[in-house]
Structure 1
Amino acid sequence: MTAKNVIKAYFKAFNDGDVDGMLECLAEDVAHHVNEGQVRTGKAAFAAFCEHMNRCYKEHLDNMVIFEAEGGTRGAAEFVVNGTYLATDEGLPEANGQTYKLPAGSFFSLENNKITRVVTYYNLADWVRQVSA
């Protein structure tokens, strides 16, 4: 399986709301670099993050473009996040079902067809503007 295929499977699982499917794509000691947050290490920390995100947000990604570096050990994706803010997330504006549309990107490292590092970036100030309008 190529890095591109692993990344594609990861995002398909995301869009399907399939956390277990996402976890299947990850190495046990995955390093998850959250946008403007701390690095979480391991599948259990990643699963807890997903549980929190699914409580506060409903998101679907589209306009996906996936890139793979030579050698298959790194990849990236550019996409648009279409979301609904469901429940207030600590330290952020109050949620009342606001929708948002946000360009974003993720970077990946892979070993043995498993994702060992996920780094996701988006413009938090843009998101805050959208949900505060």
Structure 2
Amino acid sequence: MNYDKNYDIIGFSNDLGLNLQQVSELYAELINEFNLALSELKTAMIGSDLENIQKIIHNLKGLSGNYRIADLYEETTKINNLLKNSNYNNIESHLSNLLTVISIALKKIRSFFYQRSILI
């Protein structure tokens, strides 16, 4: 995988002073967090639980910002701002798009490490 500006795993690794094997353990935990959040988000969406959706989105925004996952951070920031402003127009389409962005992020992160012979 060539450098992808949306996933700055090497920069994250360098800033922490860790090698990719060590950072892969952090990303493995991140993937678990994302999978849990996805499950919770889908349940909250079915129940139209906006309060829980906002908590999940806020958590995903923080995680994606910390781990430098730019496309996910941008999408969660948009949704977070809509929810903070009680602007629920098209919120379902934004949430559906977020599910796609998360799915792509998970695949790209796994692929990044797999191409370096690191299994996560």
Shorter-chain TM-score range: 0.3 to 0.5
TM-score, with structure 2 as normaliser: 0.33
The structure whose residues are more often strand, as a share, is: 1
Q: Which has the higher contact order (CA 8 A, sep 6+)?
A: 2
TM-score, with structure 1 as normaliser: 0.30
